Amino acid sequence: MRIGIFFGGPSREREVSFAGGRTIYDNLDKNLFEPVPIFVDSLGHFILLRWEFLYKGTIRDFYPPAQFTFWEGKRSPFQVYIESLGELPEAELEAIIAQVGQTIYPHQFKKYFDFAFLALHGAQGEDGSLQGLLEWYGIPYSGSGILPSAIGVNKIAQSAFLRDAGFARPRQIQVSYQEWQKFDKAMLLEYLITKIGMPLVIKSPNQGSSIGVSIIKDKDIKKLIAAVNKSFLCERSMQASGNRSQKHKNMIGL
């Protein structure tokens, strides 16, 4: 049986997924199964990866290849993910992919494998998207189906289902990015301690299990601000004109 191992993907857990794909490839019983590595890049291409690239340290060590990583007309001094190269012409994308393998399309999946082993994480991997695509083409796969995947990746929806089914669950409060910008942070901390108590576990509800998670064990407004910004995946850098931030607008669960 040919096993298509899906790994990589667009989520922030892509490197964990890459390592997981390599582990699956190594440990499948080759007497019974033929492993077929399917690398999903962050732009959504399905790439039949040449096996030797599985043993690179990280995705950025081989994709995009170094000869394609230019920055302002010069070779980039650091490794980047392919989306950092900006909008690329189709011919250049094809040339990049050809360096590591070949593009395959969903309608071709059955030509290459009989079963999909899903090692993808987070968005487009655990949220029902890929599961739906595989079901459309009649390909069996590992893990949960479309609906449980979609519910499982959304911690707010998951909590509501648990509540309605009578399961015990932690007390929680949801805060949108817009609300976070408006709230008095000290008053919010007091409110959270009153309603939930300490410690506070703060995370984004639709990322992977460990992405953006913080635990606050004492009453510290600076720790709260840092933890919430981490869950919103905000990146802050000091500029001459002051702080500027790139915001990932989202909802977090407290």
pLDDT tens digits for range 194-244:
999 999 998 888 776 677 788 999 899 999 999 898 888 775 543 333 343
Question: What's the pTM?
Answer: 0.80
Same domain for 191 and 249, yes or no, is yes
Identify the pLDDT of residue 235. Answer: 57
Same domain, 180 and 149: no
Q: What is the pLDDT of residues 82-141, one digit of tens each?
A: 998 888 899 999 999 999 999 999 999 999 999 999 999 888 888 899 999 999 999 999
144 belongs to a structural domain: yes
Mean pLDDT of 140-144: 95
Domain with residue 27: its CATH number is 3.40.50.20
> Do 87 and 198 reside in the same domain of the chain?
no
Are 186 and 90 contained in the same domain? no
Domain check: are 148 and 192 in the same one? no
Name the more confident of 106 and 76: 106
Q: Closest Cα to residue 113, out of 34, 39, 41, 45?
A: 34
Residue 90: DSSP 8-state: H
In a shared domain, residues 33 and 147: yes
Structure confidence at residue 213 (pLDDT): 85
- The rounded distance, in Å, linking the Cα atoms of 89 and 100 is 18
- Indicate the pLDDT class of residue 172, thresholds 50, 70 and 90: confident
Looking at the fold, whether 105 and 183 belong to one and the same domain comes out as no
Q: Is the pLDDT of residue 249 over 50?
A: no
Reported as type and span, the H/E element at residue 101 is strand 101-104
Domain count, the chain: 2
Over range 136-154, report the average pLDDT: 93
β pairing state of 70-71 and 46-49: unpaired
Sequence-separated (6 or more) residues with CB below 8 Å from residue 191: none
Residue-wise pLDDT tens digits, 4-63: 999 999 888 899 999 999 999 999 999 999 999 999 999 999 999 999 999 999 999 999
Exposed / middle / buried, residue 142 (Cβ in 10 Å: 0-12, 13-18, 19+): middle
Residue 159 counted as domain residue: no
* Residue that is last in its domain, among 89, 122, 153: 153
Domain assignment present for 158:
no
Q: Is residue 245 scored above 50 in pLDDT? A: no
Same domain, residue pair 247 and 121 = no
Same structural domain for residues 130 and 188?
no
* Cβ atoms < 10 Å from Cβ of 236: 12
Q: Return the SS3 of 167.
A: coil
Q: What is the CATH number of the domain that holds 200?
A: 3.30.1490.20
What pLDDT band is residue 74 in, cutting at 50, 70 and 90?
A: low
Contacts of 3 by beta carbon, 8 Å cutoff, 6+ apart = 28, 33, 34, 35, 36, 113, 114, 115, 116, 117
Which residues face 40 on adjacent strands? 8, 46
Of 153, 184, 218, the residue at which a domain comes to its end is 153
Per the structure, the complete domain to which residue 50 belongs is given by 2-153
CA distance 143 to 79: 33
> Which pLDDT band holds residue 250 (cuts at 50, 70, 90)?
very low
137 and 36 in a common domain: yes
pLDDT of 248 > 60? The answer is no
Q: How far is residue 84's CA from residue 87's CA, in Å, rounded to a whole number?
A: 9
Is residue 193 pLDDT above 50, yes or no? yes
Residue at which a domain ends, from 153, 183, 215: 153
Looking at the fold, whether 31 and 74 belong to one and the same domain comes out as yes
Q: How far apart are CA 120 and CA 18, in angstroms?
A: 8
Q: What is the pLDDT of residue 129?
A: 93
- Size of the chain, expressed as the number of residues it contains: 254
Helices (H), ranges, the chain: 14-27, 90-98, 109-112, 129-136, 146-153, 155-164, 177-182, 185-195, 221-231
